[in-house]
Structure formats: structure tokens, C-alpha cells
Amino acid sequence: MNCALISVGTELLFGQITNTNTVYLSKRLNELGINVYYHFTVGDNCRRLEEILNYAMKNTDLIITTGGLGPTQDDLTRETVAKAMGKNLVLHRPSMERLESFFKDLNRSMCENNKKQAYLPEDSIVLQNNKGTAPGFIIENMGKVIISLPGPPKEMIGMFEDCVGGYLREKSKSTIYSSVLRFFGIGESSLETELLDLITKQENPTIAPYAKEGEVSLRVTAKAENENAAMKLIEPIVREIRSKVGTYLYSDQDEELVEVVAKALMEKEISISIAESCTGGLLAGRLTAVPGISKCFHAGYITYSNEAKMKMLGVGQDTLDLWGAVSEETAKEMVLRLREKTNSDLCVSITGIAGPDGGTEDKPVGLVYIGLLYKEHLTVQRIKAFGDRDRIRNYSVLSALNMIRNVIK
Amino acid sequence: MNCALISVGTELLFGQITNTNTVYLSKRLNELGINVYYHFTVGDNCRRLEEILNYAMKNTDLIITTGGLGPTQDDLTRETVAKAMGKNLVLHRPSMERLESFFKDLNRSMCENNKKQAYLPEDSIVLQNNKGTAPGFIIENMGKVIISLPGPPKEMIGMFEDCVGGYLREKSKSTIYSSVLRFFGIGESSLETELLDLITKQENPTIAPYAKEGEVSLRVTAKAENENAAMKLIEPIVREIRSKVGTYLYSDQDEELVEVVAKALMEKEISISIAESCTGGLLAGRLTAVPGISKCFHAGYITYSNEAKMKMLGVGQDTLDLWGAVSEETAKEMVLRLREKTNSDLCVSITGIAGPDGGTEDKPVGLVYIGLLYKEHLTVQRIKAFGDRDRIRNYSVLSALNMIRNVIK
């Protein structure tokens, strides 16, 4: 089964927001063995939406739209999809009642404009919205299926998981299964070169590298009757990849580096504390996004100035005067003082120059030192990051996480 | 002039990465007065790319492609675009020489696969890539323009800014100018209701609301001969909007809330320190993304446990025993102790329950207290955030920033 995703909303065409709905839906559809062939984005314009729907219906069997189901004047999806499928809009009484009691529960009067959300294409399967007001729907007609979901990501995801996933599982006839391998410390063209013979010979599974900021991923995809059969095709390929570039591999489950590290810390019950300067809280912020991390992480210091390094941690004035804030010596002293303060098994420090200002010839923008004290094992890594302030800070956080990953293995 | 954006890359259709290129290009094109009518995403597949190019060429005058210009086997844009425009690929010698010296400078041998990047459509304008290896190009033919840019965002943006912006400015005949107003503390349907008469009467300028996580924006767009004329149409509308919902308005320049706050702190030379619990460094991390913030921000404490609140800040055991970590009293004591430690003009504390675990009937997930001490003015705000862990943490950071914004006005 082939699919097209249509995101409806002029704000997308103005570049006001980033489209994360297509990311989520594409992942879920692929897990279900449905090929996604197109993403379309079109504005709140009936004619163009209708033409795109017709193009999509000519080229695919399943179309999923997001957006345009709300209460405002710009919300045009219901009528346009109904028209493309040759249906009228009719009042769906249970949806109207739900709308009315939603507003009643909040002690708010329902603005008139909300009512249009309860007029849905006749003969459609209505999908309840448990995180917002606009219901969605599924229409099957002329050998095609159109599923219309709300635009706001949390509502869309909620509706997909509650109602749509199960519906599609019935419809799908084969399984595409992907393993995504994630690497840190090697570039995309080097990775492809190391694996060139595998990539050239590929049939089923296919192998595709792609670069993200500071990282590279490899998607190994097999088509088979079911997940087990797909995995039997994928495993030997992954084994061969490991044997060639395994040093750089941090996950074969498409996890974020921070998730891998947080899980390892929690499993091994290793306590961690952090002292950050140029990353200003990003490392701790990212680690604490993982639920349950309070088992390991208790204390972080953001020592953004020299004075803060001295007053908060006890780094020596001499060290700062002699070597400067951005130095191996300062990174080292930050973790030693951090250990004295917190007694954590693992202490991490980051000090560097994020830019755009602050660089000199000796100490350019992007120079970062990462200190790590694990039990009695002390190391300091010097990295040279490229790019703008955000990229340098992000790369520093990833480098620190990778250092932790390797030392607690 | 109307435009379609085509993003080429199977990784997008698998949902492996988020498409930020369309966000950037859409913004810039609109500033140049070019209507973006479509975003298309298609995989590394010649046939489907060719068909989408043909659809786009039928419906728009300008097409911008991103992706598929790299050295790997999947990179198909050059040949497919050349074919759609009736051109052959020819060796572009200066590009080949640049590629050769790029690898020579890095003391690395050039993998064979890199050479295909120097074969470009004949008669095209070649665009140099100052941040990577793949050149881009512009082809004008049959009354249409196709511009092909690299996929990696930093390379695409660099090339657009160096070469493409100027080219398009010549081509564009009118100006679309948008003011984007950003609001915190009011929902989308309430905003539309407050401004219903303005929205119903709209012609030029148009007015479009849209929701982002925790916030709402309003795009006011005017079409005119030049920017000044467009602003003359927009200003009276913005004045009327301010008079109705100005309390919630934090920017009329489409800035992020953190940028508005950071700028205000720097302009007014207000020193700030932060003590975070459930947000774990996110507030400080976001504030320190703004260059120059070291003028105001020096010290942050991430007091993730009760013990850390006591040991690092000096919050009393009694307070924690009696009221609990997530309470008005603890938030208040956190800022008072923070002031003693840092002597900052402005001290902020955040303590709450980010979830998914940790909630009780009295203190549910999403309950967060934000303490603020500005000079001698102390307040604590109690918020009830909804959603998952990420959303609760994000909303807490935005709420804290908005409190700061209001108190230093």
C-alpha cells in the first residue's frame, strides 16, 4: 500500500512553523509496512488542496491529511476532502454534543465558530479527539482511503494512536522493517566509503546513510512477510557493519545519544553531576528530559563566568589566571572540585568558546574542553567544533555524552 | 511570482529527519514577495521526482529543490532536473578543481564518488558551495526557473544567502511583507474571537492566527509595491490588535520569547541568576543561546533533588518537610537563598512535577511554582501545565520568561 501525506496550512508555506507531523506519520506508516511516497504541503486554499488531493488519489491508495479541521475561517479540509470523495457534509450529533460539554466543563461559552467542527463527510468513520475539540474522520471510496487528522501535533498523535493505527494494521499486507543505526564521530562520506561494498551489493535489505547535525545514521530496511522474517534478513548485515565501523556505533535502535547514556547510567546506578560553562545548562537540560533520571542526577552547576567557577565550585584563581577559563587545566579542576561538592561517581565539566565572539588566534571559537572524572579515572578531551553558536554548543553536548557512554561501558 | 519547494530525500519519507529547509526558504521567499504555493517531498526516485517537477512546472514559475546533490548513489537531483529542463549534464571544470583542492587541503584522498558533484546541467548558472562539497545551480528555460540547492541546512542556507537571494530580488516584481505578532497566555480560538471583526473584514492586509506549543501567533500580511507601502497598510491593523489583546503580546517582530527577554535584560543591564529543579537546566540553556548574555547571566543552580536544594542553595529542611519541594514556600525560599548566593538583581526559581510519574491528587503532574525576586519585589506564580514531560517543561520555561518580561518592563 502506498501513501501520500498532505499537510494543510498557509502558516507552513510562510515558514512560520516546522512540520513535525510528517516526521511522526512517516515513521508509524513505515512500521506498518506502508510506503510513504509523497509529502505535500498546501495552503488554506480550496482549489489547490483539491488539485493536490486528486494528484495524490491518482498516484497512491491512502492519503492522510493533517490540519484545517479547526474552528476558524481558514479551516477548509472537511469540505474539500468531502468534495474530492463525492460526499456531502452532515451534522454528526455525538460530536456536537461532545463539543458542547467540552466548553461546559471549562465554564466557557462555546464560540459559534466551533460548531463547524461537527459537520463531517457523510458515511465517514468519525475519530474522536481526546486532546482537543476537532474530530477527525476516515472516508473509504472509489478504492481509495482518505484519513483526515487535526493539525496540532499532540492532537494528531493522540488520534492516530487511539484510532488510526489499528485501522491501518488491518489494511496493510506486508511489513517493511527498518533498523536504524546511529553513529557519532564519523562523517557521511567516510561511512559510505567504509561500507561501499555492502552498499553497492544491496537488494533486500537496502542500506541508506544520511547525515544529521554532528551525527550520521544508517537505515537498513528489509521487506518481508512479518517482522521476524525481516529481522532475519537485517541481522547479518548489521553484524557486518559492526565489524567495520562498530567503534562509532552508539545505537542500533534509533535512540538518541542522550537516551542511550541516561539508560546506561540508570541501569548501572551511576550517580552523575555536571558543571557547565559555555553549554549553559543544555547538557543537564537534555539529560533531565529522560524520565527516571532523578535516580542518578541530583546537582548541576552552571558556572558561566570565571567568578562563578571560583565561588560556586572552588576553582582556583591561579588556575584561571595562568591557563584561562577555556583550558585543559580548568576543565580538570572543575571536575575535581565538583567531585568534592557532590561526591558523584561521575563528574563532567564543559568549558569552551561557543561564539560568535570571544575567540582569539590561540583559542578560537569552537575550542571546547570536556572534563570527565569517573571513579578515579580522570580524562580531559579537547574538541574543535565548527559552525555557529548553536551548532558548537550542540556538538559539545554530544561529545560529552559520547565520552560518558564510552567510559561507563 | 509563484513558487514550489521540492525536498528530495527518502530519509524524509521515512520520518528520520525533520524538514527545516522548507521553513527557512518559505520565510525568505515571502520576504522577497514570492508566493510559496506548495511544499513537495519526494524520495530518491527518478520517476516520482520527474513527475513532481512536471506538476510543479505546470503550476508555478519558480521551483527550488533541496537535496540529492551529494556524492552517494542515491543522489539523483542533477540528472533528473536536467532531464525535466531538456538539458544534458556536462563537466564543470572549476567545480572539479575546487573539489580536488578541498580534499587536498584536508590531506585526504577524494573518494571517486565525489566527482559526480562536478557534472552539472549545461547552460546553468553554477552556485559555489562555501560550506560543503556539492555545488548548486540555476537553470532558466521555457519560462521557468529551477534552482537546486544542497540538502544539509547549513550548506543550503549559505548558498542561498551568498548567491540566490540577490538573483531572486532581481526577478521579483512585488513585495509581500508580513508582521508576525506573538502572544503568550491566550489560546487560538479566544484570540480569533477577540479579533473576529478584524478577521472577517480582512482584505489587504490579511490576518491569520496559528497555534504553536504553548503560544499563539498572528500573521498580518500586506501586498504592496515596496516595504514602506506595505508597512503603511499593516500599522493601523497592528495598533487595533494591540488595543484589544496587547497584554498578551510579547513581540511584533516574530522574535522568540527568550530573545525578547534576553535583549531586555542586556539593554537594561539587569543581572540574573537561576535555580531550576524540574526544568533541569532548560531555562538557563535557552537564555545562554543568545550571544552576549554573559553580560547579565553568570550563575545557575540545577537543584534536582531535595538534598541539592539544601546543600547548594541553603533551602531549609523544615520548609521541605513541611511544604514539600513543589510548593510556593520552597519556590520563594529558593529565590531568597539564590539572592544571598549571587546578589543578582533578578533571581528566578522553578520547582514542579514534570511527569509522567511523581504526581499525587494534591500535587498532580504539571503543577509548577515559579519564584521571582526582582530587586525587592518578590512573587511566586503557580501554574498548571498540561501534556507530556517535554511540554510541561517547555511551558514552565516560557511561563518563567514571560514573568521576567513583565516584571522588568
Cα–Cα distance, B37 to B338 (Å, whole number): 52
How close, in Å, is residue B384 to chain A by CA atoms? 14
Q: What is the DSSP letter of B131?
A: S
Q: Classify each residue of A91-100 as buried b or exposed e, where b means 16 or more C-beta atoms within 10 Å of its C-beta.
A: ebeebbebbe
pLDDT tens track for B28-44: 898 787 889 999 999 99
**pLDDT value at residue B308:** 98
Cα–Cα distance, B139 to B119 (Å, whole number): 14
Helices (H), A293-388: 306-308, 317-323, 328-342
Residues of chain B with CATH 3.90.950.20: 257-408
Read off the pTM: 0.78
- Split at pLDDT 50, 70, 90, the class of B173 is low
Phi, psi (5° rounding) for residue A19?
-85, 100
Report how far Cα B276 is from the mean position of its chain's Cα atoms.
24
Helices (H), B60-131: 77-84, 93-105
Mean pLDDT of chain A: 92
Phi, psi (5° rounding) for residue B201?
-80, -5
Answer whether A298 sits within 8 Å of B305, measured CB to CB.
Answer: yes
**pLDDT value at residue B1:** 84
Residues of chain B with CATH 3.30.70.2860: 175-251
**pLDDT value at residue A272:** 98
The DSSP line for A107-146 is: T-PPPGGGGGGGEEETTPEEE--SSSS--EEEEEETTEEE
B301 neighbourhood in chain A, CB within 8 Å: 300-302, 312
CATH class of B2-172: alpha beta
Is the per-residue pLDDT at B386 higher than 80? yes
How close, in Å, is residue A73 to chain B by CA atoms? 8
- When scoring B2, B7, B16 by the number of chain A Cβ atoms within 10 A, the one with the most, hence best to mutate, is B16
Q: What is the DSSP letter of B19?
A: B
Indicate the fold that domain B257-408 takes in CATH: Maf protein (3.90.950)
* Rounded percentage of chain B residues whose pLDDT exceeds 90: 74
Answer whether B180 sits within 8 Å of A16, measured CB to CB.
Answer: yes
Answer whether A16 sits within 8 Å of B210, measured CB to CB.
Answer: yes
Question: What is the value of ipTM here, to two decimals?
Answer: 0.77
Nearest CA in chain B to A2: B13
**Strand locations in A231-326 (E):** 249-251, 272-276, 297-303
Helices (H), A246-374: 257-268, 282-287, 306-308, 317-323, 328-342
- Split at pLDDT 50, 70, 90, the class of A174 is low
β-pair type (B346-352, B62-66): unpaired
Report how far Cα A177 is from the mean position of its chain's Cα atoms.
19
Coil vs helix vs strand at A258: helix
Is the per-residue pLDDT at A279 higher than 90? yes
Cα dihedral: B93, B98, B100, B106 (round 10)? 180
Peptide bond into A356 cis (omega under 30): yes
**pLDDT value at residue A166:** 85
When CB atoms are compared, the residue of A19, A279, A308 closest to B299 is A308
Across the A:B interface, residue pairs with CB atoms under 8 Å apart total: 288
Cα–Cα distance, A405 to A399 (Å, whole number): 10
Is the per-residue pLDDT at A277 higher than 70? yes
Residues of chain A with CATH 3.40.980.10: 2-172
| Strand-pair partners of B139 | B146
CATH class of B175-251: alpha beta
A153 neighbourhood in chain B, CB within 8 Å: 213
H or E element in which residue B314 lies: none
**pLDDT value at residue B174:** 66
- Split at pLDDT 50, 70, 90, the class of B339 is very high
Any idea which of A155-169, A196-210, A287-301 has the lowest mean pLDDT? A196-210
Cβ–Cβ under 8 Å, residues A48 and B40: no
B299 neighbourhood in chain A, CB within 8 Å: 302-305, 308, 311-312
- Split at pLDDT 50, 70, 90, the class of A132 is confident
How close, in Å, is residue B386 to chain A by CA atoms? 10
Mean pLDDT of A297-303: 97
A157 neighbourhood in chain B, CB within 8 Å: none
Cα–Cα distance, B49 to B46 (Å, whole number): 5
CA B312, B314, B319, B323 dihedral sign is negative
